[in-house]
Amino acid sequence: MRIGIVGTGHVGGTLAELFEKAGHEVAVANSRGPETLRGLSEQLGPQVHPATAEEAARFGDIVVVSVPVGRYPDLPAGPMAGRTVIDTGNYYPERDGHLPELDDDRTTSSELLQEHLAGARVVKAFNTMRWDHLRDHGRQSSAMQRYGLPVSGDDVGAKRQVFDLIEQVGFEPVDAGSLADGGRRQQPGTEIYLAELTGGELHDRLGAP
What's residue 45's pLDDT? 81
Mean pLDDT value of segment 173-186: 97
What's residue 173's pLDDT? 97
What's residue 143's pLDDT? 63
What's residue 73's pLDDT? 94
pLDDT tens for each residue of 40-72 = 878 888 899 999 999 999 999 999 999 999 999
Domain of residue 169 covers: 2-206
HSE of 29 in the Cβ direction (CA atoms, 13 Å)? 22
Instruction: Give me the percent of the chain exceeding a pLDDT of 90.
Output: 88
What's residue 209's pLDDT? 58
Q: Domain with 9 in it: what CATH number?
A: 3.40.50.720
95-103 LR contacts (CB < 8 Å, sep 24+): 95/68, 95/70, 96/68, 96/69, 96/70, 96/71, 97/70, 99/69, 99/70, 102/69
Whether residue 13 contacts residue 7, with contact meaning beta carbons closer than 8 Å, is answered with: no
Tally the domains of the chain.
1
Arithmetic mean of pLDDT over the chain: 94
pLDDT tens for each residue of 12-46 = 999 999 999 999 999 999 988 888 888 887 888 88
